[in-house]
Structure 1
Amino acid sequence: MAAKAKTGNSIVETIKTIVYALLIAGVFRTLFFQPFWIPSGSMKETLLIGDFLFVNKMAYGYSHASCPSVRLPQFGINVDAEQICRFLDGDNTRLLGSQPERGDVVVFRHPVHGADYIKRLVGLPGDKIQVKNGVLFINDTAVKLENDGAFEEVYAPQGPQRSAPRCENGPVGVGGTCSKSRQIETLPDGPSYAVLNIGNQTMDHTGVYQVPEGHFFFMGDNRDNSTDSRLSQSAGGAGFVPFENLIGRADRIMFSSAGRSMLFFWTWRGDRFFKAVE
């Protein structure tokens, strides 16, 4: 009987340890840093498919978007962050909130379906944003844009989703070199970063967007491969993103893998470990 009691106590202690660990991890993820995998190429070359980073949730304060969603479709579990932190949802405000800066790379919740997006903030509340002939205009002034060669990558399926890159140099066979024009864009407040283009596309020519108060305008650095604020929410884009939908700022890449799984060590990108996001 003593042996059975000891075994039972051991199982209970193990379960308690697991529960405590999950609670601590949940609190850490909610209040401080959220892990985020880059699933698509919309932010190349700043962020590549397979980059793994922690999102700084302290940067902009807290709202319902700060809570993690719990989605385990194999078990029929789909609990949205808004349901968990409903008490923080209200009037487009944040607890301990601070305003993001133009040029920040931000993870935010899509205002309609709640999926996590990561893009660069280019438009602040009150700004007029337009893209003309592929050039970003902020308040009727073109941002500084300098040609900087080409961005090249191997044309092959990328990441777990096995998506293939789009190329400016026409149809490219598997294993060939996929090339895009590379430019350095400098925002009015100073941040500079690379943007990529594959030629004249529909979203290189837009109307004027007037960013409402309490909202922000985002674009991907891979300009012709990004679903962002240039498309309205009704058209499947992000549209204007409310302040309360911001999750946090991407500051540093912790790990990067070019393969289908992080376990494929031969695909690790060691040169991207601990790289700052700029």
Structure 2
Amino acid sequence: MTKQNKKKRFRTAAEFILLIGFVFLLRHFVFNPVEVSGTSMEPNYQDADRLWQTTFIAPDRFDVITFKSPRNGKSIVKRVIGLPGDTIRYENDQLYINDIAYEEPYLDEFKEAKKTDLLTDDFTFASLQPVVTSKTVPDESYFVLGDNRQKTDDSRYFGFVNKEDITGVVFFRFFPLEKIGAP
């Protein structure tokens, strides 16, 4: 084997290793798949929907995030409602953040189809004690709710989600194919 052939093979091997490393980084940080489990995000996300999430995006209000469940450690999907420093309350099915009413257009379909008077029961942080022990969302934490407010395990029941526990922000649904696209 000539010296030039050895260099060529070494270069090919090095390029292959770099490519594998790049694909691994993309897969781990940019295009990390997650599966919706359960009905807590209906009607927007169904059980077994497959989503892409990324760790490069910081969560913002109304983003859908994934994190490990404080109950069983499994990855769960919820919507960010409260950011650090916020106060959250619900009154007559209306969301108030820092005493300002907010619309939730992602719930419109569910509100039209609901069979009960209220989709979201009234609450304040004070009424959620001892689970919620602060008057505002603490620094480095978020208050999350499932879209299916009557059938979800969310911050009303397990408290705030720490920033360090968030595994990603959902940015794309890739399955089922008829619902493919950005949220």
1:271 corresponds, among 174, 178, 181, to: 178
- Which secondary structure state, in structure 2, belongs to the residue aligned with residue 41 of structure 1? coil
Secondary structure, in 3 states, of the residue corresponding to 1:254?
strand
Corresponding residue for 1:12?
Answer: none
1:50 and 2:48 equivalent? yes
Return the offset for 1:124.
Answer: 0.4
SS of structure 2 residue aligned to 1:248: strand
Aligned mate of 1:211, from 130, 137, 140? 137
Alignment TM-score, normalising by the size of structure 2 = 0.71
**Cα distance change of structure 1 residues 253 and 202 upon mapping to structure 2, 3 Å threshold:** closer
The equivalent of 2:154 in structure 1 is 228
Superposition map of 1:78-157 within 5 A: 100-111=59-70, 113-144=72-103
Cα offset for 1:119?
A: 0.8
**Are the structure 2 counterparts of residues 200 and 230 from structure 1 closer, same or farther at C-alpha, using a change threshold of 3 Å?**
farther
Alignment correspondent of 1:199: 116
Q: Deviations over 1:179-235 (max 9, x none)?
A: xxxxxx2xxxxxx4225344257960223252111110001111111111111x3xx
State the shift of 1:139 in Å: 1.0
Distance 1:202 1:50 in 2: 23
**1:126–1:211 Cα contact (<8 Å) kept:** yes
- State the 1:53 CA deviation: 1.4
Alignment length (residue pairs): 153
The letter of the residue matching 1:246 is I
1:156-195, aligned counterparts within 5 Å? 185=104, 192-195=105-108
CA distance in 2, matches of 1:245, 1:50: 22
Pairs within 5 Å for 1:52-67: 52-60=50-58
Partner residue in 1 for 2:29:
31
Q: 1:219-274, CA deviations, whole angstroms, 9 ceiling, x for partnerless residues?
A: 1111111111111x3xxxxx101111111111111111xxxxxxxxxxxxx4213x
Q: Which runs of 5+ in 1 are unaligned?
A: 1-20, 61-99, 145-184, 186-191, 234-238, 257-269
Shift of 1:113: 4.0
Identity %: 32
CA distance in 1, matches of 2:66, 2:137: 18
Distance 1:194 1:200 in 2: 14
RMSD of aligned alpha carbons: 2.7
Asked whether the 8 Å contact 2:67–2:76 carries over to 1, the reply is yes
Paired with 1:201 and 1:28, the residues of 2 have a C-alpha distance of 42
> Is it true that 1:247 corresponds to 2:147 in the alignment?
no
- TM value normalised by structure 1: 0.49
Runs (4+) of structure 1 moved beyond 6 Å?
none
2:174 partner SS: strand
